[in-house]
Amino acid sequence: MSEHPQAILVFPHLRVQNANAISSPLTHGFPAITALTGLMWALERKLNQAGIPLHLHGVGVVCHHYQEQTTQGYVHSFNLTRNPVDKDGSTAAIVEEGRIHLDITLVFSVSEKRAPGALPRLVQDAPDTLQQWADDASRVLAQMRMAGGSLLPTRAALGRRVRPWIAVLPDDTQQRATRLREWRRQWLPGYALVGRDDLLAERLRVLREHTPQATLLDAWLHASRFNYEAERPQTDQPQAADGKVRWHDPLRPRGSGWIVPIPVGYAALSGQHAAGAVANARDAATPLRFVESVYSLGEWISPHRLRSLEQLLWHAETDAAQGLYRCRSGYAADAAPDAPGEWEDEDESDVYAYD
């Protein structure tokens, strides 16, 4: 089995109904990235049972449309369902549940699980085999749930590629960049979720200039809200004639991006308990550890701003010694801007497929 991704497996425009919109005790609005990594591992197990020899390394998500199930107004509330009555006929308590409908594209980096001495099948010259694997994987995925939501049949649309596909990653750097330009064009319009741990570290640095005892939690809460301040005119600028004062967030200027607070994993609250040692555990054959959510900042960016496939993908990272189980994004904020004429040499017949 290869230790490095050899290809990508793409499920375009998946329609998810009633996915879990409450991603953590403090955030809502989109499923947690841990739900996608959990889906990745569950999908790999089911693919192996179906005879599809693929190992899934990382997952990326592009959201094309969402509809959170909330009431409209200044204060939003989740649309809740009335639970059935208890066995004694009394009214059961309402447990708040957040739901969201999604139209997303999932991108998995994959490699082939190959027996020693066997010939590789995940190669460029086997398009029929790759498409068959993608179609079979789509049928397996259709029987699963994503973040608690149900997958609905994808609707075909003119100029939109909805059939799943597998593409082998070229070894040449220039060829890989060319293919990425074709792929990311297919993911438009939409927004890709990437990690921005760097923004959280920068916000902590700014806060500690005025409040040395500020913590990462203070920085995360500060970055998760608007912090309006009155804009003071410069000494060489005259005051407004109408006397009005402009209010703004100095740390969130125009063009700073669509920054959101997100959960990225879990941190241990206890040591590891032996399998079966904790009563009423979901799995009595697996060691158990009590955890709490770990938070960071993410950003929704247009796919055309991705400079490499690694910037889109999320990978699971485990540090059992520190009790940290979290997801890492390969996004780098120092990417160069779009070069002039970047799209001029692109073959649009490969961009827009009608299947």
57-73 b/e with 16+ CB inside 10 Å = b? bbbbbbbbebebebeee
State which residues form the domain around 187: 7-71+96-194
Q: 31 or 76: which carries more pLDDT confidence? A: 31
Q: Please tell me the predicted confidence (pLDDT) of residue 341.
A: 41
Question: Is 252 within the bounds of a domain?
Answer: no
pLDDT level of residue 3 (50, 70, 90 thresholds): low
CA–CA distance, 44 with 39 (Å, rounded to integer): 9
Average pLDDT value for residue range 296-316: 94
Q: What's the rounded Cα separation, in Å, for the pair 210 and 130? A: 57
Sequence-separated contacts (24+) of 155-160 with Cβ below 8 Å: 155/13, 155/15, 156/355, 158/354, 159/352, 159/354, 160/12, 160/13
Give the torsion sign (CA, 26, 27, 33, 36): positive
The total number of structural domains in the chain stands at 1
Helix (H, G, I), strand (E, B) or coil at 104: strand
**110-139 average pLDDT score:** 87
* Total residue length of the chain: 355
Confidence (pLDDT) at 303? 94
Mean predicted confidence (pLDDT) in 184-201: 93
Identify the pLDDT of residue 153: 87
What's the pLDDT at 345? 43
| pLDDT value at 145 more than 90 | yes
Query: What's the pLDDT at 339?
Result: 42
Is 50 exceeded by the pLDDT of residue 354?
no
**How far is 103 from 65, CA to CA, in rounded Å?**
5
pLDDT at position 237 over 60: yes
pLDDT (average), residues 83-107: 83
Whether residue 89 is predicted with pLDDT greater than 90 in this model: the reply is no
CA distance to 172, 305, 344, 346, 348, per residue, from 341 (Å): 22, 14, 5, 10, 14
- Could you tell me if residue 301 is inside a domain? no
Please report whether residue 115 resides in a domain.
yes
Q: What mean pLDDT is predicted for residues 224-232? A: 84
Instruction: Band the pLDDT of 332: cuts 50, 70, 90.
Output: confident
Task: Compute the average pLDDT of residues 186-199.
Answer: 93
Residue 347 has pLDDT above 50, yes or no: no
Nearest to 27 by CA among 261, 349, 270: 261
Please indicate, yes or no, if residue 210 is contained in any of the structural domains. no
Residue 349 pLDDT: 40
Tokens (6 digits) for 217:
């939690």
Task: Retrieve residue 60's tokens.
Answer: 């990326």
Cα dihedral: 62, 67, 70, 72 (round 10): 120
What pLDDT band is residue 346 in, cutting at 50, 70 and 90? very low
Letter string b/e over residues 113-129, b meaning 16 or more CB atoms within 10 A of that residue's CB: beeeeeeeebeeeeeee
Residue 164 belongs to some domain of the structure: yes
Is there a domain that residue 336 lies in? no
Residue 336, pLDDT score = 43
Q: Does residue 218 lie within any of the structural domains?
A: no
> Does residue 135 form part of some domain?
yes
State the CB neighbour count (10 A cutoff) for residue 170.
14
What letters, b where the CB count within 10 A reaches 16 and e where it falls short, cover 131-155? eebbeebbebbeeebbbebebeebe
- The tens digit of pLDDT for each residue in 248-290 reads 888 888 888 899 999 999 999 998 899 889 988 888 888 889 9
> What does the pLDDT read at residue 165?
92
Query: Is 238 a residue whose pLDDT tops 70?
Result: no
- Asked if residue 96 has pLDDT above 80, the reply is no
CB 350 within 8 A of CB 182: yes
N-to-C CA span, the chain: 32
With a cut of 70, say whether residue 45 has pLDDT above it: yes
In terms of phi and psi (left: phi > 0; alpha: psi -120 to 50; beta: otherwise), the region of 198 is: alpha
Residue 199 β-bridge partners: none
> Does position 348 have pLDDT exceeding 70, yes or no?
no
d(CA 38, CA 67): 23
The answer to whether residues 14 and 126 touch, using CB atoms and an 8 Å cutoff, is no
Q: Return the percentage of the chain with pLDDT > 70, whole number.
A: 90
**pLDDT classification of 235: cutoffs 50, 70, 90:** low
Q: Are 35 and 162 in contact (CB under 8 A)?
A: no
* pLDDT surpassing 70 at residue 340: no
pTM for the whole thing?
0.85
Q: Of residues 334 and 63, which shows the higher confidence score?
A: 63
Sequence-separated (6 or more) residues with CB below 8 Å from residue 28: 21, 22, 68, 98
Both tokens assigned to 144 = 């699963």
Residue-averaged pLDDT of the chain: 85
